[in-house]
Amino acid sequence: MRNMKTVICPGSFDPVTNGHLDIIRRSSKLFDKVIVVVMKNPSKTNFCFSPEERAELISRCIADFDNVEVDIYEGLLADYAKMKNAVAVVNGLRAVSDFEYEFQQAQMNKKLNENLETVFINTRVENLYLSSSAVKQICELGGDISDFVPETICKDIVERIKRGVSK
């Protein structure tokens, strides 16, 4: 029996977008097990959804993915990967600016956990411009976000952002 290859797709996912789901879906076809982990990002403070709410929204979106699970973690990603016996972190890349940041993170994670690799998956062209921040801003200004987020959670996102509730 071969070793099962577990990877982690980390992010803040506030909210999860179609771009995130595309990377998760494609990862699930490449690896045996994918853990989508809602991470605490110290540089981001203005969240619309609590970590538990974000995990629940993601869970609803991946209900039909057999080899994907969702978790929440507040520590170092390198430590989480060790705990879960993950072989790699999977990150989606939209632009060169994403690569610069993610490359630095990958190098730090490798220093903290020498067995941890990082796999970059290029985003599809239709998601190049897509970010959680852009989705929130469009929604706050009354725009239609239905093309940018999964249908299963679109109403939840719109209701939260229109209420202006921060968690």
Active site residues: 20, 44, 94, 132
145 touches 158 (CB < 8 A)? yes
In the three-class reduction of DSSP (H, G, I as helix; E, B as strand; rest coil), residue 163 is classed as helix
| Residue 58: closest CA among 149, 137, 164, 128 | 149
Cα–Cα distances in Å, from 87 out to 9, 79, 94, 153?
A: 12, 12, 23, 30
N- to C-terminal Cα separation, the chain: 45
Tokens of 158: 């719109």
**What does the DSSP assignment read for 34-82?**
EEEEEE--TT----SS-HHHHHHHHHHHTTT-TTEEEEEE-S-HHHHHH
